[in-house]
């Protein structure tokens, strides 16, 4: 059973995104060695879970067996994307937003709202147009009732006038599984599975790429490289001949070479698939040399049918708007100003080559696949940091 909807988890660092993901899915997504050492999410984590409704008490749950003793009836399967909250990792969070059909926006009850990345993640949701949002007031077990109510009022004031203004606010304690049934019900009601065209041209955004072979594996037993990501339109079958762009970066600086390959396997967590559709996160097995795909080397690539993807380009023209920020100065863009550009799952660096009224042409350091209408986030250097500054659409 393939997941049919992607739900992102956003919020300030250490507000409980990874803990909540584990409470919902049973999977701890921070598995990278540096994540374990530092105690924060660095890469995009993901886990799948199935929702059920109890045939006896009519309550929702992520467990088939209900506490009342009844058996749950399967509703749907969901992929959760755990985006990093730390400010230096905002580009990963912005990339994750391109895969989201909805978002759980976490705000901890034991800290004043908003915290710095609480504000920035709300800007991401506004800029990328993620409308199906549930606000989760986490860590309610660490505060008094009065403090929780005070924090709730801070949250309401914070989201007023934003895309999350009318979002439900659900208090939870993920560690003690408090109010998880109400959260599950709200997920089912608020974040619906979008209508998708299975016959549309294939587009899959690559958010991870792997070498799954263990050190010391015999040559004859080596498996090809693997791509992880989400199909946003169309479908993909085992045996399909597809193309990945931009492709392999060349050392001589020439334009990357697109990669054509045949899909050898499709997998969704622990389940093998014959065909994968839009929604959820999948792994695509290939016959490619795993040295090409290891260590997330091809994040930001796009997979489509051979000959159907746009040509990769090192120039992108964007119709943009700058964000109104109270915490930093955000003046108009300047000629030759460096910017970080996020489009679908790719992160690129460029400089402003040309400015017109409401549009900017950006010369990129690396080529990328640009499709008309694609949402783009722009970050600019403020002091020693890259800060989210604007958003737009590819022209």
Q: What is the DSSP secondary-structure string of 37-92?
A: HHTS--SPEEEEEEEEEETTT--EESSSB-TTS-BEEEEEEEEEEE---SGGGHHH
For residues 236 and 329, which has the higher predicted lDDT (pLDDT)?
236
The answer on 56 and 110 residing in a single domain is yes
Residue located via tokens 């890469």? 43
| Torsion-angle region of 388 (φ positive above 0: left; ψ -120 to 50: alpha; else: beta) | beta
Please enumerate in sequence order all residues whose Cβ is within 8 A of that of 344, keeping only pairs 6 or more positions apart, or say none.
Answer: 95, 98, 205, 300, 302, 369, 374
Quick check: is 198 in a domain? no
pLDDT score recorded for residue 97: 63
Q: Is 24 a residue whose pLDDT tops 80?
A: yes
Tell whether the model's pLDDT for residue 88 goes beyond 50: no
Asked whether residue 234 is domain-assigned, the answer is yes
Q: Quote the pLDDT of residue 45.
A: 67
Q: Are residues 331 and 223 in the same domain?
A: no
Q: In the predicted model, is pLDDT for residue 67 greater than 60?
A: yes
Segment 233-261 mean pLDDT: 90
The domain boundary, picked from 270, 305, 340, lies at 305
Identify the band that residue 208 occupies on the pLDDT scale cut at 50, 70 and 90: confident
Does the pLDDT value for residue 370 go beyond 80? yes
Work out the pLDDT band at 291, boundaries 50, 70, 90: very high
Is the domain of 300 the same as that of 331? no
Q: How far apart are CA 186 and CA 109, in angstroms?
A: 19
Give yes or no: residues 23 and 151 share one domain. Answer: yes
Q: What's the mean pLDDT in 73-97?
A: 67
Number of Cβ atoms within 10 Å of the Cβ of 40: 18
- Evaluate whether 77 touches 48 at the Cβ level (below 8 Å): yes
Q: Residue 30: is its pLDDT beyond 50?
A: no
Contact 266, 286 (CB under 8 A): no
Mean pLDDT score of the chain, rounded to an integer? 87
Statement: residue 236 has pLDDT above 90: yes
Q: 327 and 282 in one domain?
A: no
Question: Would residue 108 count as lying in a domain?
Answer: yes
- The pLDDT assigned to 110 comes to 95
Is the same domain home to 296 and 182?
Answer: no
Instruction: Report if residue 262 sits inside a domain.
Output: yes
Task: Look at residue 20 and tell me if it is in a domain.
Answer: yes
- Domain check: are 387 and 271 in the same one? no
81 belongs to a structural domain:
yes
With bands split at pLDDT 50, 70 and 90, how would you rate the model's confidence at 337? Answer: very high
Tokens coding 69 = 């003793």
| CB contact set of 10 (below 8 Å; sequence gap of 6+) | 17, 83, 85, 93, 96, 97, 103, 104, 105, 106, 121, 124, 125
Residues 236 and 146 in one domain: no
CATH number at residue 293: 2.40.30.10
> Does any domain span residue 294?
yes
Asked if residue 42 belongs to a domain, the reply is yes
Average pLDDT, stretch 228-232?
Answer: 89
Region 365-381 average pLDDT: 89
Question: Alpha-carbon distance 172 to 107, whole Å?
Answer: 10
- Is residue 184 within 8 A of residue 58, CB to CB? The reply is no
pLDDT (0 to 100) of residue 171: 97
- 126 burial via Cβ count (<10 Å: 0-12, 13-18, 19+): middle
- Interval 22-46 mean pLDDT: 53
pLDDT band at 91 (very low <50, low <70, confident <90, very high): low
Higher-confidence residue: 116 or 51?
Answer: 51
Residues 21 and 111 in one domain: yes
Give yes or no: residues 387 and 279 share one domain.
no
Query: Is residue 117's pLDDT more than 60?
Result: yes
Same domain, 319 and 294: no
- Per-residue pLDDT tens digits for 128-179: 788 899 999 999 999 999 999 999 999 999 999 999 999 999 999 999 989 9
Tell me which residue range forms the domain holding 367: 313-394
pLDDT exceeds cutoff 90 at 251? no
CATH of the domain at 94: 3.40.50.300
With cut-offs at 50, 70 and 90, classify the pLDDT of residue 124.
Answer: confident
Place of tokens 């147009």: 129
Q: Identify the pLDDT of residue 130.
A: 85
Q: Which residues touch 282 (CB under 8 Å, ≥6 apart)?
A: 2, 228, 229, 230, 231, 236, 266, 267, 268, 273, 276
For the cut 50, the answer to whether the pLDDT of residue 279 exceeds it is yes
**Percent of the chain residues past pLDDT 70, beyond the cut:** 91
Total structural domains in the chain? Answer: 3
Q: For residues 179 and 176, give the distance between their C-alpha atoms in angstroms, rounded to a whole number.
A: 9
376-394 confidence digits (pLDDT tens): 888 899 888 888 888 888 9
Q: Which of the listed residues 148, 169, 190 is the one where a domain comes to its end? A: 190
Same domain, 116 and 45: yes
Per-residue confidence (pLDDT) for residue 44, from 0 to 100: 57
Instruction: Give the mean model confidence (pLDDT) for residues 216-222.
Output: 91
């Amino acid at each position: 059973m393939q997941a049919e909807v992607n739900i992102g988890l956003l919020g300030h660092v250490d507000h409980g995104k990874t803990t909540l993901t584990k409470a919902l899915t049973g999977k701890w997504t921070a598995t990278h060695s540096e994540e374990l050492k530092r105690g924060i999410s660095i890469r995009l984590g993901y886990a799948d879970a199935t929702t059920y409704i109890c045939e006896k008490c009519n309550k929702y749950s992520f467990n088939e067996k209900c506490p009342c003793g009844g058996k749950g009836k399967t509703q749907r399967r969901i992929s959760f994307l755990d985006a990093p909250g730390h400010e230096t990792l905002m580009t990963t969070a912005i990339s994750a937003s391109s895969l989201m059909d909805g978002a759980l926006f976490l705000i901890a009850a034991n800290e004043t709202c908003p915290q710095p990345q609480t504000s920035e993640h709300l800007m991401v949701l506004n800029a990328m147009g993620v409308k199906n949002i549930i606000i989760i007031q986490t860590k309610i077990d660490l505060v008094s009732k009065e403090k929780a109510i005070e924090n709730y009022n801070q949250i309401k004031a914070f989201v007023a006038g934003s895309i999350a203004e009318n979002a439900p606010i659900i208090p939870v304690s993920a560690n003690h599984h408090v109010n998880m049934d109400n959260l599950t019900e709200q997920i089912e009601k608020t974040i619906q599975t979008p209508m998708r065209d299975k016959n549309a041209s294939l587009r899959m955004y690559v958010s991870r790429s792997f070498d799954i072979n263990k050190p010391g594996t015999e040559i004859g037993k080596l498996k090809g490289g693997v791509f992880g990501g989400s199909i946003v339109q169309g479908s993909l079958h085992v045996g399909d001949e597809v193309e990945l762009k931009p492709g392999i970066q060349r050392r001589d600086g020439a334009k990357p070479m697109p990669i054509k390959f045949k899909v050898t396997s499709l997998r969704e967590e622990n389940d093998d698939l014959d065909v994968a559709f839009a929604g959820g996160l999948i792994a695509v097995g290939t016959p490619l040399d795993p040295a090409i795909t290891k260590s997330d080397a091809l994040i930001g690539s796009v997979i489509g049918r051979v000959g159907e993807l746009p040509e990769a380009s090192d120039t992108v023209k964007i119709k943009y708007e700058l964000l109104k920020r109270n915490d930093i100065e955000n003046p108009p863009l300047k000629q030759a100003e460096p910017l970080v550009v996020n489009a679908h799952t790719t992160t690129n660096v460029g400089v402003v080559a040309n400015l017109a009224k409401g549009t900017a042409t950006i010369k990129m350091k690396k080529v990328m696949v640009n499709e008309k209408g694609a949402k783009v986030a722009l970050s600019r250097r403020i002091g020693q940091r890259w800060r989210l500054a604007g958003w737009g659409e590819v022209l």
